[in-house]
Amino acid sequence: MARIDVRKTYKLYIGGAFPRSESGYSYEVTDNKGKFVANASLASRKDVRDAVVAARKAFGPWSSRTAYNRGQILYRIAEVMEDRRPQFEEAVRQSEGGSAALARGQVDAAVDRLVWYAGWADKLAQVIGNANPVAGPFFNHTAPEPTGVVGVLAPQESSLLGLVSVVAPVIVTGNTAVVVSSYARPLPAVTFSEVLATSDVPGGVVNILTGDAAALGPWLAAHMDVNAIDLCGVAGSPELATSLEVAAADNLKRVRRAPAAEPDWALDPGLSPMTAFVEQKTVWHPIGI
């Protein structure tokens, strides 16, 4: 008789822990052919609330880490992901369909993207910061700092590469993130959260909620303790995107607008995924004896 396998419960990832949804709801996740795969936790507005609290708590310590240390941790995420490549390949293939080679390509690219962003940790300030030659006896310099807690509506289609491409730039710059995964393809995100939990990423730096961006987005966009929001996950829903942008104006969140359609994640991301969520701080000091 064949061994009965032990199935994994797919849970949320909040503050470094793996709770079920506060609401107790879950939803059926199917593969791309419609076959049942698992029940995922259906995050509620209260899970959003808890995740924001966790992200805020983590922000001070995370943003105070040295850039070198953040880079090391991002690289560590890549290492641990690399180790779990077969698992991610399966999850991506199950979610997105296509060939094994295609899924492998996605996982490879996701790992490589983490490595790319890991390297940016201690370079971005040098590239976008400045010493400013002001007309007076003052030392004056401008350097980027993280914006704070960033809400991320992750892409709906690209379940792993897309997810990594929107989460990594947020955290490498010192922000903390509350991520709403793809609704229909959440399982790679849950596995990713298990990687985060074992990669020296402090609890709360990344919080991952599986659920519906249309339902959770408004709570995240209107939350007064969230400093910025990436609307990528509602690409193709301009009315929803507009309403979220309107809600985000209540505390002047920095908004990374939703594109008309999901971009080609294989392309060079450029700097804008990082610069969208940094503030430029200018410091003055007199020069004298």
Partner 1 sequence: MPTTAPTDPAPGLTAYSEVTASEASLRRFLHGLPGVDQVGAEARAAGLGTRSIKTTAKAWALDLAIRMVDLTTLEGQDTPGKVRALASKALRPDPADPSCPSVAAVCVYGDLVGEVKAIVGDQVNVAAVATAFPSGRASMAVKLADTRDAVAGGADEIDMVIDRGAFLAGHYLQVFEEIVATREACVRPDGSHAHLKVIFETGELQTYDNVRRASWLAMLAGADFIKTSTGKVQPAATLPVTLVMLEAVRDFREATGVQIGVKPAGGIRTAKDAIKYLVMVNEVAGDDWLDPDWFRFGASTLLNDLLMQRTKMTTGRYSGPDYFTLD
Partner 2 sequence: MGFEYAPAPESRSIVDIKASYGLFLDGEFVDGRGSSFKTVNPATEETLAEIAEASDADVDLAVRAARRAFRGWSRMSGKERAKYLFRIARIIQERGRELAVLESIDNGKPIKESRDVDVPIVAAHFFYYAGWADKLEHAGLGANPQPLGVAGQVIPWNFPLLMLAWKVAPALACGNTVVLKPAETTPLTALLFAEICQQADLPPGVVNIVTGAGGTGQALVSHPDVDKVAFTGSTEVGKAIARAVAGTDKKVTLELGGKAANIVFDDAPMDQAIEGIVGGIFFNQGHVCCAGSRLLVQESVADEVLARLKRRMSTLRVGDPLDKNTDIGAINSREQLERIRELCEIGEAEGAERWAPACDLPSSGFWFPPTLFTGVAQAHRIAREEVFGPVLSVLTFRTPAEAVEKANNTPYGLSAGVWTEKGSRILHMASQLRAGVVWANTFNKFDPASPFGGYKESGYGREGGRQGLAAYLKGAEA
- The residues that touch partner 2, with contacts defined as CB under 8 A, are 127-128, 130, 132-136, 138, 140, 142, 145, 147-148, 227, 238-239, 241-243, 245-246, 248-252, 254, 271-272, 275-276, 279-286
CA angle 270, 76, 116 (to 5 degrees): 15
* 287 near partner 1, rule: CB under 8 A: yes
Residues that bind partner 1 (rule: CB under 8 A) add up to a total of: 7
Nearest to 196 by CA among 60, 54, 93, 96: 54
For β-strands 36-41 and 26-30, DSSP reports them as antiparallel
Single residue of 4, 6, 224, 289 touching partner 1 by CB under 8 A: 289
> Distance between the two ends of the chain, CA-based, in angstroms?
85
The dihedral built from the CA positions of residue 220, 39, 184 and 264, taken in this order, carries a sign that is positive
In the shown chain, the binding pattern of residues 247 to 286 toward partner 1, with x for contact by CB under 8 A and - for none, equals: ---------------------------------------x
Residue 289 contact among partner 2, partner 1, none, beta carbon within 5 to 8 Å by kind: partner 1
Q: CA torsion 115→56→147→175, rounded to 10°?
A: 0
What residues from 221 to 240 belong to the interface with partner 1 (CB under 8 A)?
none
What residues from 112 to 141 belong to the interface with partner 1 (CB under 8 A)?
136-138
Of residues 252 and 287, the one with the C-beta less far from partner 1: 287
> What is the nearest approach in angstroms of partner 1 to the Cβ of residue 132?
16
In the shown chain, the binding pattern of residues 45 to 84 toward partner 1, with x for contact by CB under 8 A and - for none, equals: ----------------------------------------
Q: How far apart are CA 43 and CA 47, in angstroms?
A: 6
> What is the nearest approach in angstroms of partner 2 to the Cβ of residue 233?
16
Of residues 5 and 239, the one with the C-beta less far from partner 2: 239
Q: How far apart are CA 109 and CA 265, in angstroms?
A: 9
CB contact at 8 A, 276 and 256 = yes
> What is the nearest approach in angstroms of partner 2 to the Cβ of residue 189?
26
> What is the nearest approach in angstroms of partner 2 to the Cβ of residue 268?
12
Q: How far apart are CA 132 and CA 140, in angstroms?
A: 5
Q: How far apart are CA 242 and CA 239, in angstroms?
A: 5
CB contact at 8 A, 47 and 14 = yes
Residue 287 contact among partner 1, partner 2, none, beta carbon within 5 to 8 Å by kind: partner 1
